[in-house]
Amino acid sequence: MNSTANQILVIFGASGDLTNRKLIPALYDLYCQEMLPENFAVLGVSRSEYSDESFREKILPGIKEFANKKASQEEKVQDFLDCIFYQSIDTQSVDDYGTLKTRLEEINARCKTDGNYIFYLSTPPSLYSVIPSLLAAHGLHKEGKGIFRRLIIEKPFGYDLASAKTLNKDLLKHFREHQIYRIDHYLGKETVQNLLVTRFSNGIFEPLWNSKYIHHVQITSAESIGVGDRGGYYDGSGALRDMLQNHLLQIVGMVAMEPPSVIEATSIRNETLKVFQSFRPITEEEVKDYVIRGQYTESTVRGEHMKGYRQEKGVPDESRTPTFVAMKFFIDNWRWGGVPFYIRTGKRLPTRATEIVIQFKETPHRLFKDVNGAKKANQLVIRIQPNEGVKLKFGMKVPGAGFQVENVDMDFHYSDLQNTYVPSAYERLLLDAMLGDATLYARGDAVEEAWEFVDPILKAWATRDDIPVYGYPAGTWGPEPVDSMIEGENMNWRYPCKNLADDGNYCEL
Ligand code: BG6
């Protein structure tokens, strides 16, 4: 056991998919590593009727399937399940929060959790303002001497700038900023955090990490899956809201920030905010020149039929929701002046890969001939997932006569580390919230700043017919115009694999 304060984690939306696939398995993994507080309980809350026992039965298969730690020791799993409880309430009824309060007091007395509660909102976003205000109606938001009350909010945090501002205001009516944890699970990924360590623990990268040496930065987050049965939700969201405004911009924050003065929440989040504040705005008129949107269409890959987005369940026939977005933008500050950032994300692409490419400039003068004609400048590739690792590409002499240069790789894969356990993002983030460490959670001002940046794009897309929604066949790298987006001689997107046929589920770093 460790020194994390005793507490109860209350999960709203407990009968949902996220609880089953991510939250409970992550808690089980923490339990197996003895990282949960000594006295700890989970209270699942939702409208569905379960008893404590039937809820435990419901979540057991999820633990077996999704936890990293093998759930083979029956006794261990049973001990873990013993600290899980369930309460059915109507989350919109103020009276039901009285029932919730009584239940919490009972569990608190029984499990000796010292009156500390974390409320995790894994519900539809329409409840993100409602639940905190009803918790407050029963005083469940009030911290006391040595007693904390925290709120974790799942994404999406708002639908646009106006709704994000309203949500922030609503939350701050009852909770203070230090109590609010806005989750972005990309920040919980080990390799995203490693960006800070790669940059700020090595003397060799940081001197080159600026416009003098870097030609451009690329960030790709490709998914091979389609929207599956989430069409209903996704159609109201799209790639820009679902992935770019949050996950990708948070990665940009880590790549572009100045060194924080200390590794601590305020300092790191201040630096992220400064990056977001330095984004050069893309006006509605400029959207067509800087942003490309696309939607996957029906195709056949290796004999297998792939549905188009509009054929997915819950998606209207005429939908113009983008499942792909690529954009170019600039960060107007001392370090990055003039360096283009290119980011793209999409569903039904040839493979699953999230990576950052730092594309260095060519040498000032070309002395040698390259083996394949085209000179390739150095690249640092940071792979977030899968095959997590870092690769540096550089030129070497081809042995033998003359001075021909070939590009070679120097790389590191996390999988090379022996006996190193890489925790899941939710493990890390849940533990941090329990410890009261908000470093890897998004702060309200930064979330608003990110919305401010993407808002004109959403407005232009909604109002202008002259901005196309390009189709791209499922299993390809998105709309064709994206291929020529990157400017500069011999400069291109890095493709983790060329097309679906090459992939075979192997995604090279
Ligand atoms: C979620 C999005 O936030 O992130 C999903 O809503 C997306 O559409 C998912 O599939 C990707 O997360 P990961 O961790 O699998 O890259």
- Confidence category of residue 505, pLDDT binned at 50, 70, 90: very low
In a domain, 509, yes or no: no
The mean per-residue pLDDT over the stretch 302-317 comes to 93
In a domain, 284, yes or no: yes
The mean per-residue pLDDT over the stretch 461-473 comes to 95
Helix (H) or strand (E) run with residue 61 in it = helix 52-66
Same domain, 476 and 359: yes
Same domain, 114 and 252: no
Candidate list 174, 178, 247, 413, residue with the active-site label: 247
**How high is the pLDDT of residue 501?**
46
Same domain, 215 and 337: yes
**How high is the pLDDT of residue 301?**
81
In sequence order, what are the residues at sequence separation of 6 or more whose Cβ sits closer than 8 angstroms to the Cβ of residue 3?
Answer: none
**How high is the pLDDT of residue 73?**
72
Measuring from each residue's beta carbon to the nearest atom of ligand 1, which residues come in under 6 Å? 155, 223, 242
pLDDT tens for 247-295 read 999 999 999 999 999 999 999 999 999 999 999 999 999 999 999 999 9
Q: 440 C-alpha vs ligand 1 centroid, how far in Å?
A: 17
In a domain, 250, yes or no: yes
pLDDT above 90 for 384: yes
Distance CA 203, CA 198 (A): 9
Q: 243 C-alpha vs ligand 1 centroid, how far in Å?
A: 7
**How high is the pLDDT of residue 503?**
47
- Confidence category of residue 365, pLDDT binned at 50, 70, 90: confident
**How high is the pLDDT of residue 2?**
60
Average pLDDT, the chain: 93
Q: 323 C-alpha vs ligand 1 centroid, how far in Å?
A: 12
pLDDT tens for 407-466 read 899 999 988 887 788 899 999 999 999 999 999 999 999 999 999 999 999 999 999 989
Same domain, 84 and 220: no
pLDDT above 70 for 1: no
User: What is the residue type of 396?
Assistant: M
Residue among 22, 247, 388 whose CB has most ligand 1 atoms within 8 A, to mutate: 247
Specify the DSSP class assigned to residue 364: S
The mean per-residue pLDDT over the stretch 184-204 comes to 94
Dihedral of alpha carbons 401, 379, 382, 267, sign = positive
Alpha-helical (H) ranges within 115-214 are 130-137, 161-174, 190-200
Same domain, 436 and 370: yes
**How high is the pLDDT of residue 216?**
98
In a domain, 38, yes or no: yes
**How high is the pLDDT of residue 154?**
95
Which ligand 1 atom lies nearest to the CA of residue 425? 14
Q: 247 C-alpha vs ligand 1 centroid, how far in Å?
A: 9
**How high is the pLDDT of residue 506?**
46
Which CATH number fits the domain that encloses residue 411? 3.30.360.10
The bridge status of strand 389-397 relative to strand 379-385 is: antiparallel
Which ligand 1 atom lies nearest to the CA of residue 225? 10
Same domain, 121 and 207: no
Q: 201 C-alpha vs ligand 1 centroid, how far in Å?
A: 29
Which CATH number fits the domain that encloses residue 94? 3.40.50.720
Residue among 21, 235, 243 whose CB has most ligand 1 atoms within 8 A, to mutate: 243
Same domain, 94 and 135: yes
Same domain, 148 and 199: no
Which ligand 1 atom lies nearest to the CA of residue 155? 3
pLDDT tens for 122-135 read 999 999 999 999 99
Same domain, 112 and 252: no
Atom 2 (ligand 1) nearest CA: 242
Radius of gyration of the chain measured on its C-alpha atoms: 24
Range of the domain at 270: 187-484
**How high is the pLDDT of residue 490?**
84
The closest of 20, 320, 23, 348 to 154, measured between CA atoms, is 23
- Confidence category of residue 504, pLDDT binned at 50, 70, 90: very low
Same domain, 344 and 470: yes
Q: How many domains does the chain have?
A: 2
Please report how the helices 444-463 and 249-256 are oriented relative to each other, as an axis angle in degrees rounded to 10: 130
In a domain, 493, yes or no: no
The answer to whether the CB of 344 falls within 8 A of the CB of 478 is yes
Look up 247 and say whether it is catalytic: yes
In a domain, 229, yes or no: yes
In a domain, 174, yes or no: no
Where a domain ends, among 136, 154, 172?
154
Percent of residues, the chain, with pLDDT higher than 90: 83
Which residue would you say has higher pLDDT here, 140 or 365? 140
Where a domain ends, among 110, 131, 154?
154
